[in-house]
């Protein structure tokens, strides 16, 4: 029995995520939230969704609102509201504009739903996770972002295609920024349980090309169809299912780390974390030397942008 709220449900990602989440059996209540002025659109979304429930036999209470205070009683609150990037923009270009909205929203969430988990999707997601953590006043286990889970999924699909195996045979991870400085963990990549570097075909793997494809996926999709929707929507639903099913899966999400990765910490960034109904718990890990260098650079980048955005937010409050 759980209530899930989607803030930004009128948008591309929010509306598709709402539909994928409606397939999760634990969800009994869903609240679609949009900006004031979007009431009619939200009503339309609810009616449309109810039609799909009728076709599938889904039984779920569905409501809509334009008041963030209505998050009260939610178990999971997903924030997909905010500006998306345009072709040629970097996700970090959105940082300050989206941070203003996230800070305001997070404050209300902290007051009205102090026991909820707050799941950030809005970009730049690592910086937005830090802003949400600060302004909600919630505990680090309660606030997390989609992080590099989507990037890890993208890499997994490319590896599966290369080796002609089912995606479920591939385990891989990308950590760090959901952005240019992301770091693939080849040392933690296995196929059918065998470390990828122990497979003779590994030497021919086009690592660089694969990572170029992963890094540019968002931009490619935005250029061709305006927004990334299905990948993020399914990735969001996987996390919600993991939480509500109390599954203790280890997925790579943006989370506050103290010093869990080779002693590096005090930042919100994509790291492997155990996820269950209580929230998100980063797993202490020790990386190979080359991977540490890349991760440390990614942390430094995100820490600098986060500090800059937080300072600007404080000045305009």
Q: Which residues bind ligand OAA (CB under 6 A)?
A: 84-85, 91, 123, 150, 218, 222, 228, 232
Q: Find which of ligand NAI, ligand OAA, none residue 142 binds, CB within 5 to 8 Å per kind.
A: none
Residues recorded for the chain: 317
In whole angstroms, give the CA distance from residue 274 to residue 59.
30
Q: Which is nearer to ligand NAI, 1 or 316 (CB)?
A: 316
**Which residue, 127 or 150, has its beta carbon nearer to ligand OAA?**
150
Q: Give the residue with the Cβ less far from ligand OAA, 228 or 298.
A: 228
Is residue 219 near ligand NAI by the rule CB under 6 A? no
Here the tokens at position 194 are 């065998």
Q: Is the peptide bond before 124 cis (omega within 30 degrees of 0)?
A: yes
Per the CB < 8 A criterion, the answer to whether 245 and 279 are in contact is no
- Given ligand NAI, ligand OAA, none, residue 10, with its beta carbon under 5 to 8 Å by kind, binds ligand NAI
Distance between CA 153 and CA 150 in Å, rounded? 5
Residue 82 binds ligand NAI, judged by CB under 6 A: yes
Whole-angstrom distance, CA of residue 303 vs CA of residue 124 = 12
Torsion of CA 299, 217, 22, 99, to 10 degrees: 40
| Block residue for tokens 């969430």 | 109
**Contact present, 74 and 33 (Cβ < 8 Å):** no
Is 64 known to be catalytic? no
179 or 272, CB closer to ligand OAA?
179
Burial class (CB in 10 A: 0-12, 13-18, 19+), 269: buried
Partner from ligand NAI, ligand OAA, none contacting 22, C-beta within 5 to 8 A by type? none
Q: Which residue is nearest to ligand OAA (CB)?
A: 218
Q: Which does 20 bind (CB under 5 to 8 A by kind): ligand OAA, ligand NAI, none?
A: none
Q: Is residue 35 part of the contact set for ligand NAI (CB under 6 A)?
A: yes
313 binds ligand NAI (CB under 6 A): no
Q: How far apart are CA 236 and CA 46, in angstroms?
A: 19
Is 11 annotated to bind a ligand? Reply is yes
- Quote the Cα angle for 237-247-283, to 5°: 100
- Residue 146 as a binder of ligand NAI (CB under 6 A): the answer is yes
Residue 294 labelled as part of a binding site = no
Q: How far apart are CA 271 and CA 283, in angstroms?
A: 8
Is 10 part of any known ligand binding site? yes
With vertex at residue 130, the alpha carbon angle to CA 126 and CA 132, rounded to the nearest 5 degrees, is 110
- Closest-by-Cβ residue to ligand NAI is 11
Q: Which of 110, 176, 184, 232 binds ligand NAI (CB under 6 A)?
A: 232
- CB nearer ligand OAA, residue 2 or residue 227: 227
Q: Would you list which residues are annotated within the binding site for substrate?
A: 85, 91, 123, 154
Interacting residue ranges for ligand NAI, rule: CB under 6 A: 8, 10-14, 34-35, 80-85, 94, 98, 101, 121-123, 125, 146, 150, 178, 227-228, 232
Which residues participate in catalysis according to the annotation? 178
């Amino acid at each position: 029995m759980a209530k899930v709220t989607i803030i930004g449900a009128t948008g591309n990602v929010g509306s598709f995520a709402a539909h994928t989440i409606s397939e999760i059996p634990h969800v009994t209540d869903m609240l679609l939230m949009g900006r004031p002025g979007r009431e009619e659109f939200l009503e339309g979304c609810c009616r449309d969704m109810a039609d799909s429930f009728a076709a599938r036999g889904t039984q779920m209470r569905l409501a809509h609102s334009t008041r963030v205070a209505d998050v009260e009683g939610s178990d999971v609150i997903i924030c997909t509201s905010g500006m998306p990037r345009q072709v040629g923009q970097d996700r970090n270009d959105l940082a300050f504009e989206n941070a203003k909205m996230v800070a305001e929203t997070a404050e209300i969430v902290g007051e009205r739903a102090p026991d909820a988990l707050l799941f950030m999707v809005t970009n730049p997601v690592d910086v937005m996770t830090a802003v949400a953590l600060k302004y909600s006043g919630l505990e680090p286990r309660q606030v997390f972002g989609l992080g590099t889970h989507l990037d890890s999924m993208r890499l997994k699909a490319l590896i599966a295609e290369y080796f002609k195996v089912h995606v479920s045979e591939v385990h891989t991870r990308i950590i760090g920024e959901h952005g240019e400085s992301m770091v693939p963990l080849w040392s933690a990549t296995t196929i059918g349980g065998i470390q990828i570097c122990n497979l003779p075909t590994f030497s021919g793997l086009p690592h660089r090309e694969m990572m170029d494809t992963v890094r540019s996926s968002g931009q490619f999709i935005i250029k061709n169809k305006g927004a990334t929707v299905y990948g993020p929507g399914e990735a969001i639903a996987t996390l919600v299912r993991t939480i509500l099913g109390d599954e203790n899966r280890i997925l790579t999400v943006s989370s506050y780390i103290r010093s869990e990765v080779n002693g590096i910490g005090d930042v919100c960034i994509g790291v492997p974390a155990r996820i269950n109904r209580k929230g998100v718990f980063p797993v202490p890990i020790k990386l190979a030397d080359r991977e540490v260098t890349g991760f440390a650079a990614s942390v430094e980048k995100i820490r600098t942008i986060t500090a800059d955005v937080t300072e600007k937010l404080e000045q305009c409050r």
